[in-house]
Amino acid sequence: MKQVPVNLSDRSYTVQIGTGIIQRTAELLADTPVAKRKRCAIISDDNVAPLHSAPVIASLTSAGIHVDLFTVPAGEASKSMDNVASLCSQMIQAGHDRQSFIIALGGGVVGDLAGFVAAIYYRGIPFVQIPTTIVSQVDSSVGGKTGVNAPEGKNLIGAFLQPATVIADVATLDTLGDREFNEGMAEAVKHAAIADPSLLDALLDLQRGDHPATEEIIARNVAIKARIVEADEKETAGTRAFLNFGHTIGHAIEAAAGYGNMFHGEAIALGIRAALYLSEKHAGLDPAFSQKVLAALQHFDLPLVLDDKPEFRDESLIPRLQRDKKSENGMPNFVLLKEPGSPVLSKFVTNTDITEAIEQLRSTY
Ligand SMILES: NC(=O)c1ccc[n+]([C@@H]2O[C@H](COP(=O)([O-])OP(=O)(O)OC[C@H]3O[C@@H](n4cnc5c(N)ncnc54)[C@H](O)[C@@H]3O)[C@@H](O)[C@H]2O)c1
Ligand SMILES: [Zn+2]
């Protein structure tokens, strides 16, 4: 098993990564802030609960912990204030109080939702992340951003709450569909590009189902995310924004496709290609590095060419970029790479540059 520390003074915790470790959930809580707690609310979704809750419940129950399982429907729509209110009520009715703790068992949707419930339930109780997707293991379970969507936009309501620990079991990834598995790897490729270029070699060598190699890759990703979060926990210093590499144009493509039509990671793959182009142009990035990043995305069957569809024409994409919530003075603060593993924030990306970058996405790679 691998352990990656996240050092945030009194909010520090360990990310525990292994294969088949959810069977030992109770044991893995021993050195964490929830160690002595005897009541647990597991929050999961209706895909993950039938697949992976049994070993978690069995482990906790045999350690004398009372467990209740609450599930929400799978999917982004479950990240809602309605579900927050409903989960709080269900937990109150089941007798959970400030001595209880929450386990988020599932992907990023469940992690963000359950984490937010933990942040406000009885003014805050501790929670544990058991992430079961690539996105949640390499990204969302670490860093303490929790929250839900508002009808007006994604992730607009939330709180910072660091988990008590994270238990990332790579065996749970075996039940993911190929498309879900691959899309998560877009974030791993992003991490490699902005912070650990040699991770690209490991990604290029990865075969699905290779648990030791997957553990290694998850651990390296968590270490990258941890370092960035440690330097800028609440996104006040600006450096946490480096995690947005590929996301400015990626988000515009995701939104233009219509949420749900294109997976987040698929849109981000295209956004990364565009950001690499802009990095070569404005920050002097070596094109050979771009090629390696693109090869890694291609290894996971991620799209690199923008389809010729009406929703992806400039008239649809460019206005969305001007509306991006990370915009300043109408123009996005672009994350560019000046060298492998060295991101910078650039204000010098113009509308013309963006149009050019999108045009380039229409050409074959
Ligand atoms: N808090 C953060 O820092 C942060 C960072 C990145 C993303 N996010 C959020 O994470 C969410 C996306 O996360 P996600 O990609 O994990 O999506 P998700 O939670 O919706 O999971 C994707 C799908 O896979 C299913 N699933 C999960 N684990 C499975 C397993 N082991 N086997 C079979 N099916 C499984 C889910 O039921 C769902 O249908 C978004 O809401 C995004 O905003 C948050
Ligand atoms: Zn992302």
pLDDT in tens, 255-296: 999 877 899 999 999 999 999 999 999 999 999 999 999 999
Query: What are φ and ψ of residue 67, in 5° steps?
Result: -120, 135
> Candidates 42, 46, 105, 112: which one to mutate for ligand 1, based on the most atoms within 8 Å of Cβ?
112
As its CATH architecture, domain 2-176 has 3-Layer(aba) Sandwich (3.40)
User: Would you state the pLDDT for residue 329?
Assistant: 59
Amino acid (one-letter) located at 255: A
Strands (E), the chain: 2-6, 13-18, 39-45, 66-72, 101-106, 127-131, 145-150, 153-160, 165-169, 327-328, 331-332, 334-339, 342-346
75: left (phi over 0), alpha (psi -120 to 50) or beta: left
Cα 76 to middle of ligand 1, angstroms: 8
**Would you list the domain boundaries of the chain?**
2-176, 188-361
143 lines ligand 1 (CB under 6 A): yes
Q: Is the CB of 196 under 6 A from ligand 1?
A: no
Distance 127 CA to ligand 2 centre (A): 23
Return the SS3 of 258.
coil
Could you count the other beta carbons within 10 Å of the beta carbon of residue 173? 22
CATH label, 188-361, candidates 1.20.1090.10, 3.30.1660.40, 3.40.50.1000, 3.40.50.261: 1.20.1090.10
Q: Which of 231, 199, 54, 79 is nearest to 140 (CA)?
A: 79
Taking alpha carbons only, the member of 143, 163, 166, 147 closest to residue 234 is 143
- Distance CA(228)–CA(116), nearest Å, equals 21
Does the C-beta of 271 come closer than 6 Å to ligand 1?
no
User: Residue 85: pLDDT band by 50, 70, 90 thresholds?
Assistant: very high
Would you state the pLDDT for residue 104? 98
Mean pLDDT on 346-364: 90
CB-ligand 1 contact for 74 (6 Å cutoff): yes
Instruction: Give the position, in ligand 1's atom list, of the atom nearest the Cα of 142.
Output: 3
pLDDT reported for residue 285: 98
Supply the pLDDT for residue 347.
84
Mean pLDDT of 5-34: 97
Q: Is 250 touching ligand 1 by the criterion CB < 6 Å? A: no
Q: Is there an atom of ligand 1 within 6 Å of 131 CB? A: no
Q: Is 357 in the pocket of ligand 1 (CB under 6 A)?
A: no
**Looking at the predicted structure, is the pLDDT value of residue 330 above 70?**
no
By alpha-carbon position, which residue is closest to atom 30 of ligand 1? 176
Residue 332 phi/psi, 5-degree rounding, is: -65, 150
Q: What is the pLDDT of residues 137-166, one digit of tens each?
A: 999 999 999 999 999 989 999 999 999 999
C-beta of 48 in contact with ligand 1 (< 6 A): yes
Ligand 1 contacts CB of residue 187 (under 6 A): no
pLDDT-based confidence at residue 44 (cuts at 50, 70, 90) = very high
Same-fold call for 2-176 versus 188-361: no
From residue 355, alpha-carbon distances to 312, 352, 362 in Å are 12, 5, 11
Ligand lying closest to the C-alpha of residue 246 = 2
Whether 323 shows a pLDDT value over 80: the answer reads no
Instruction: List pLDDT tens digits, range 196-229.
Output: 999 999 999 999 999 999 999 999 999 999 999 9
Q: Is the distance from the beta carbon of residue 356 to the nearest atom of ligand 1 less than 6 Å?
A: no
State if residue 139 touches ligand 1 by the CB under 6 angstroms criterion: yes
Using the mean position of ligand 1's atoms as its centre, give its distance from the Cα of residue 132 in Å.
8
Query: Which strands form 66-72's sheet, in the order they lie side by side?
Result: 2-6, 13-18, 165-169, 127-131, 101-106, 39-45, 66-72
Non-local CB neighbours of 198 within 8 Å, separated by 6+ positions: 192
The Å distance, Cα 146 to ligand 1 centre, comes to 13
HSE-up of residue 254 (Cα within 13 Å, Cβ side)? 20
